[in-house]
């Protein structure tokens, strides 16, 4: 009798598991149909981050709006500056009137105050704070618009071929687009390039002032192995989520864009993870996506990035003043990134109306760089050679020892029908020397970028 009871119990458990499996399968099908069926915004991709193999995709290269997924790139740029030593976790991030005016969600920091870099990072990861994003962009780029050009250039260098940024937060802008594949590449790059900072994405909450701010990523702690990355939503984009999983040496990056609700988006990501994680590799294959498309190992698309380096010409009445004045200091990117010229906000306001996806063919080098040394720095661009030299002479008089042995030179570039002259210094044998010179100029309110000669 006992044997019969045990057998019936075993059958009941087996049937229960079968019913559960069928229910989960039905739930996945219903969730997928709800998101993808008849939903023009939907796109998704699942990538084995160890090998780069695409395990699932639906409209992976269709243009979509990133919403707050944009902040993944803002965080990438902050991590890059931290790693390079240009800023520290305790560095002040000033809150401008522009940053304070951002629409919610935000920290609510007042204009004229500041937050630390670490607070900005935590605010971006958990609260998806738009004021922290705008302020970080101004810190790193001088203005949010110029930072957006830097973000787009960085996207190109990472292999994100179909992404363009116009702000640091992801607040609605019809021109700001990405793809599911590009967001997966960025998710992988964040983990691979900055393992020392990646842990921020798994922070469940943090305290700002008297408020406890919870992470918007509801899969943390609910789906085994999920350790980040970012959610996003606007009416234009729908509900977006990039999720990373690391479990038993298997790594997945799953992207769902354009979900119809936060709950259905989360359910789809959870089911995609459940379905495809068993098929993921436990080995980091040589030459896989980690090796090919992450920031430190990618072959930079130099010509395309250079096309972003100079702003569109501004009306003649503005040029004489705007191009001869330095701007609020910006942080130099890593040497692999080409410079974005230092111009005043007046010029930047004009430049932000230019499509940062401009192709390399729009600009042709007219004069090769001159001077000795392995490194050069760029501080501005002017509409005449004399104008560029005036900027250089004034900067050298203020730069002290860091520029004592530097050689000022101009570089003429043709962009469309406009001719611009880059203001540069050569003569730096090491990256550290070039960055020290930039530090000295930043203290005098000059923008500055270092690059390999």
DSSP track, 306-369: HTTSSPPPPPHHHHHHHTTS--S------TTSPP-----HHHHHHHTTS-TT--GGGEEE-S--
Each residue's pLDDT expressed in tens, for the chain with a length of 453 residues: 555 445 545 555 555 544 444 444 444 445 445 444 567 899 999 999 999 999 999 999 999 999 999 999 999 999 999 999 999 999 999 999 999 999 999 999 999 999 999 999 999 999 999 999 999 999 999 999 999 999 999 999 999 999 999 999 999 999 999 999 999 999 999 999 999 999 999 999 999 998 999 999 999 999 999 999 999 999 999 999 999 999 999 999 999 999 999 999 999 999 999 999 999 998 875 444 444 444 333 333 333 333 333 332 322 322 322 222 222 222 223 233 322 222 222 222 222 222 222 222 222 322 334 445 778 888 877 778 888 888 888 888 888 888 888 899 988 877 555 677 888 888 888 888 888 888 888 777 677 777 776
Closest CA to 450 of 436, 9, 133: 436
Active site residue 71: yes
Q: Which of 41, 71, 218, 442 is catalytic?
A: 71
- DSSP bridge partners of 164: 177
Judged by DSSP in three states, 130 sits in helix
Say if CB 340 and CB 150 are below 8 A apart.
Answer: yes
Say if CB 53 and CB 251 are below 8 A apart.
Answer: no
Active site residue 128: yes
Q: Which of 41, 106, 127, 128 is catalytic?
A: 128
**Whole-number Å distance between alpha carbons of 369 and 371:** 7
| Count of CB atoms situated within 10 Å of the CB of 317 | 8
**Whole-number Å distance between alpha carbons of 239 and 98:** 26
**Whole-number Å distance between alpha carbons of 284 and 281:** 8
Query: How much of the chain is in helix, strand and coil states, percent to nearest 5?
Result: 40, 20, 40
Say if CB 31 and CB 267 are below 8 A apart.
Answer: yes
Active site residue 68: yes
Closest CA to 438 of 157, 142, 167, 193: 142
> The tokens of 126 are what?
């958990």
**What backbone phi and psi angles, to 5 degrees, belong to 370?**
-120, 170
Closest CA to 391 of 354, 421, 350, 429: 421
Q: Which of 41, 68, 264, 342 is catalytic?
A: 68
**What backbone phi and psi angles, to 5 degrees, belong to 336?**
-65, -20
**Whole-number Å distance between alpha carbons of 307 and 338:** 9
């Amino acid at each position: 009798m006992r044997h019969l009871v045990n057998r019936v119990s075993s059958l009941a458990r087996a049937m229960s598991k079968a019913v559960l499996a069928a229910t989960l399968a039905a739930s996945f099908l219903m969730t997928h149909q709800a998101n993808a069926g008849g939903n023009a915004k939907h796109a998704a991709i699942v990538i084995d981050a160890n090998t780069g193999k695409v395990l699932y995709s639906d409209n992976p290269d269709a243009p979509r709006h990133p919403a707050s997924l944009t902040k993944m790139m803002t965080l990438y740029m902050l991590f890059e500056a931290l790693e390079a030593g240009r800023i520290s976790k305790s560095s002040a991030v000033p809150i401008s009137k522009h940053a304070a005016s951002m629409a919610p969600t935000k920290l609510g920091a007042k204009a004229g105050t500041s937050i630390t870099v670490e607070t900005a990072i935590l605010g971006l990861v958990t609260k998806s704070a738009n004021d922290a994003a705008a302020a970080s962009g101004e810190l790193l780029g001088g203005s949010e618009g110029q930072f957006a050009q830097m973000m787009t250039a960085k996207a190109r260098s990472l292999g994100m071929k179909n992404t363009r940024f116009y702000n640091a937060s992801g607040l609605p802008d019809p021109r700001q687009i990405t793809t599911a594949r590009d967001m997966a590449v960025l998710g992988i790059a964040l983990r691979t390039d900055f393992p020392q900072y990646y842990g921020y994405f798994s922070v469940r909450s943090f305290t700002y002032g008297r408020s406890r701010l919870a992470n918007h990523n509801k899969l943390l702690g609910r789906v085994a192995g999920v350790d980040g990355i970012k959610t996003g939503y606007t009416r234009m984009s729908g509900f977006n989520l990039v999720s990373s999983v690391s479990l038993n040496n298997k790594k997945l990056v799953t992207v769902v864009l354009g979900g119809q609700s936060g709950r259905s988006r989360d359910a789809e990501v959870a089911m995609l993870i459940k379905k495809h994680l068993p098929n993921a590799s436990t080995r980091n294959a040589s030459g896989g996506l980690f090796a090919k498309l992450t920031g430190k190992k990618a072959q930079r698309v130099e010509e395309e990035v250079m096309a972003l380096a100079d702003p569109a010409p501004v009306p003649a009445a503005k040029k004489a003043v705007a191009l001869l004045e330095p701007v609020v200091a910006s942080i130099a990117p890593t040497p692999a990134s080409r410079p974005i010229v230092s111009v005043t906000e007046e010029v930047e306001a004009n430049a932000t109306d230019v499509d940062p996806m401009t192709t390399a063919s729009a600009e042709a080098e007219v004069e090769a760089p001159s001077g000795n040394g392995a490194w050069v720095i760029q501080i501005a661009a002017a509409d005449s050679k004399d104008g560029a030299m005036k900027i250089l002479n004034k900067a050298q008089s203020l730069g002290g020892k860091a520029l004592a042995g530097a050689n000022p030179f101009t570089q003429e570039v043709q962009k469309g029908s406009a001719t611009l002259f880059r203001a540069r210094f050569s003569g730096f044998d090491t990256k550290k020397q070039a960055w020290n010179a930039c530090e000295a100029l930043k203290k005098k309110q000059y923008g500055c970028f270092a690059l390999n000669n």
